[in-house]
Structure 1
Amino acid sequence: MSAPVVVGVDGSESALHAVRWAADEAARRGAVLRLVHAVEIPTGYPPGFVDSDALRAALAEQGRSWLEQARQAAPGLATEVVEVKAAAVPALVKESTHAALVVLGSRGLGGFTGLLLGSTAVELAAHAHCPVVTVRGTDNGHDGPVVVGVDGTPLGEAAIAFAFHEASIRGTGLVAVHTWTDLVLEAAFAGGAAQLDFSVLAAQAEELLGERLAGWQEKYPDVPVSRHVSRDRAASALLRHADGAQLVVVGTRGRGGFRGLLLGSTSQHLLQHAPCPVAVVRTGSSRED
């Protein structure tokens, strides 16, 4: 059996959508689907204001109900049901140590409220030990390709590896996207923009992308690859190719068009506007088992 596919459960419709996506992923991998509900017991109420025992019992009952609802959303699949008394991010980071990937809805309730808003999403993606997938959009792209952002450095290898594996197990093609706008901006700030030969930069970018993909194309000969190099911003290029895709894959570090992907507006834009699920792969976190 493969490592389990972990999905966060909080009772929201978005989480149920994530459960169904994760169930399909687990079936493709021959893996167990691990349903995890994290609940952080509120503290600090004045004495007598809240019956802490009754509150714990109510939260536990609610959690069990949500987990059962999630289990029923994945019929016929081997599942594990886990209730954790902890904050959502630490609980999921711990789960990620033995998972193939962690899957989340794009919106949440309970222990996962605001998980994709602000620093919480950044924290999870930065510390998880496996790829983190945010399930966005509908299922309109179930026949589409997998899209991967290639930053042109060795640090992006984990994202490329994950993307090729996903394309292979889905029986679909891979769209590799590389942008080089930031190279132009760096030269401009250094005072050398006037001397830039864009045709040379474009040729170098094409060559770099080919080098980064070569070994993986040999490993996955069953995956047809489409290469796209453009003088564009990373978010714009990825969103353009994400339309109709099954999945968009990005790394957490890099240079070129994907610098700071989890530190600024690019990541937020992708997580908020991508029309399909988004996988964030931290360097060293990609797993194929």
Structure 2
Amino acid sequence: MADNMTTSDIVVGVDGSDESFAALRWALREAQLTGQRVNAVYGWTRSWDMGSEPDSEEGWERLRARITERLRTWVDEAVSGLDDVDGDDVTLTSMHASGTAALLRIGKDAQQIVVGRRSLGRVARWFTGSFSASLAEEATVPVTVVRIFTDEDESMQDAIANALTPGDAATGYARPESGSGGRPVVVGVDGSATSRRALEFAAHEAHVHGVPLHVLFCWQLKDLGVVPGYENAVAPVAEGQKRAEQLLDGIMRDDDSLFDGVEVQAHAFHISAAKGLIAASRYASHLVVGSRGLSGFDAHFLGSVSKQLVTLAECTLTVVH
């Protein structure tokens, strides 16, 4: 494991929203298991409800004190009802900057940055999704996006299920229940250095939470390189599957030291990475992927797998750089 896996802080974006409270609670539960500290960060810019801009250093000090008090109130509200969690143990950091800028600066040496977002990408939530995707692209440390579900989400799923099911019997979309060992951590791998770091992060998560780890290699023929025996022809899917399983076996052998104390299974599926991992997210407790190193214009224009997952994954997601 990397040296900072359990020694560096977990940095959480907090802004008073339900999403940020969910992120903070997730981070605090994580810290209980690892012994890490949690740093709640609020990036703020001036707004109409702050009154006129201070014209003295004393005025700025009063404003900063108000903002710190607001952050303390949010933290206390977020931890209310959590056993063995004291809001006083949370470091409070406010910065006069946008939320993204504050988290990138404060979290540059963190073990991970944690933010929250809702599951449905409605217009009113577009800014949250854009914020999460932007942060996941620009950060140099892992970014965890904690998904929360609401009654509205479930009712929309039920409405779709009823509309598309023949007959008059009421039906609904039921999310799978956790098994006796808990939902697994799922990680997508492709043999790259970034996916190796994602595998390390995922193995650590599975070990800390005592749940199985499932390693997914989602492939298409173009991802496999030259399939032996088909150097000048398109390989059948069955041969592609054999090749994919060979590549996955190599990945697992190279990193078998990561899996001490972890129940691990590896799977190769003939499906695009985005589709396969989105499907897996419906049954996972935590999905981990590599960023593939895309940033800026290329990531926006091409659409990376990780960027699609930030928007569409149905469980907590970590993007590892």
TM-score relative to the length of structure 1: 0.78
1:245 corresponds in structure 2 to 284
Counterpart for residue 57 of structure 1: 63
Residue 69 (structure 1) aligns with:
77
The count of corresponding residues between Structure 1 and Structure 2 is 264
CA contact (8 A) 1:19 1:73 kept: no
Q: Does the Cα contact within 8 Å between 2:144 and 2:316 map onto a contact in 1?
A: yes
Aligned to 2:159: none
User: Cα distance, 1:41 vs. partner?
Assistant: 2.4
Please list the CA deviations of residues 260-289 of structure 1 after superposition, one character each: whole Å capped at 9, or x if unmatched.
69951744542233221000001xxxxxxx
Q: Distance in 1 between matches of 2:44 and 2:29?
A: 26
Residue 276 of structure 2 is aligned to residue 275 of structure 1:
no
Provide closer, same or farther for how the CA distance between residues 29 and 127 of structure 1 changes in structure 2, counting only shifts above 3 A. Answer: same
Hey, what does 1:22 align to over in structure 2? Answer: 27
State the secondary structure of the residue aligned to 1:151. Answer: coil
Higher Cα Rg: structure 1 or 2? 2
| Displacement of 1:237 | 1.0
Distance 1:240 1:262 in 2: 24
Output the CA distance in 2 between the equivalents of 1:271 and 1:219: 26
CA distance in 1, matches of 2:46, 2:244: 51
Q: 1:254 to 1:2 in 2, by over 3 A?
A: closer
The aligned runs of 1:106-117 (5 Å cut-off) are 106-107=117-118, 116-117=128-129
What is the match of residue 43 of structure 2?
38
Cα pair 2:217 2:268 within 8 Å, conserved? yes
Mean alpha-carbon deviation: is it higher for 32-41 or for 193-202? 193-202
The residue correspondences of 1:221-260 to structure 2 (distance < 5 A) are 221-253=260-292
**Structure 2 CA distance for aligned equivalents of residues 185 and 218 of structure 1:** 25
Give the aligned partner of residue 89 of structure 1. 100
Structure 2 counterpart of 1:152: 191
Q: What's the C-alpha RMSD, in Å, of the aligned pairs?
A: 3.5
Task: Write the deviation string for residues 177-225 of structure 1: whole angstroms up to 9, x where unpaired.
Answer: 11112617999xxxx9963232222111111111112233333221121
Residue number among 126, 132, 143 corresponding to 2:143 in the alignment: 132
- Pair 1:212–1:261, CA change in 2 (3 A): farther
| CA shift in 2, pair 1:38/1:182, >3 Å | farther
SS in 1 for 2:37: strand
Counterpart contact for 1:252–1:260, Cα < 8 Å? no
SS at match of 2:261: coil
Secondary structure (helix, strand or coil) at the match of 2:255 reads helix
User: 1-side partners of 2:71 and 2:263: how far apart?
Assistant: 43
Greater shift, 98-107 or 52-61, is seen at 52-61
> Structure 2 unaligned runs (5+)?
1-5, 119-124, 150-174
Which residue of structure 1 lines up, in the alignment, with residue 239 of structure 2? 200
Q: Which amino acid aligns with 2:106?
A: E
Q: State the 1:5 CA deviation.
A: 1.0
Corresponding residue for 1:172? Answer: 211
Distance in 1 separating the partners of 2:243 and 2:233 = 18
Q: 2 CA distance for matches of 1:261 and 1:168?
A: 34
Shift of 1:145: 0.6
Deviation at 1:149, TM superposition (A): 0.6
* CA drift at 1:92: 0.7
Aligned partner of 1:3 in structure 2 is 8
CA separation of 1:66/1:217 partners in 2, compared to 1, >3 Å: closer, same or farther? same
Query: Percent of counterpart pairs with the same letter?
Result: 30
Q: Which protein has greater RCO, CA pairs closer than 8 Å, 6+ apart? A: 1
Distance in 2 between the 1:182 and 1:9 partners? 43
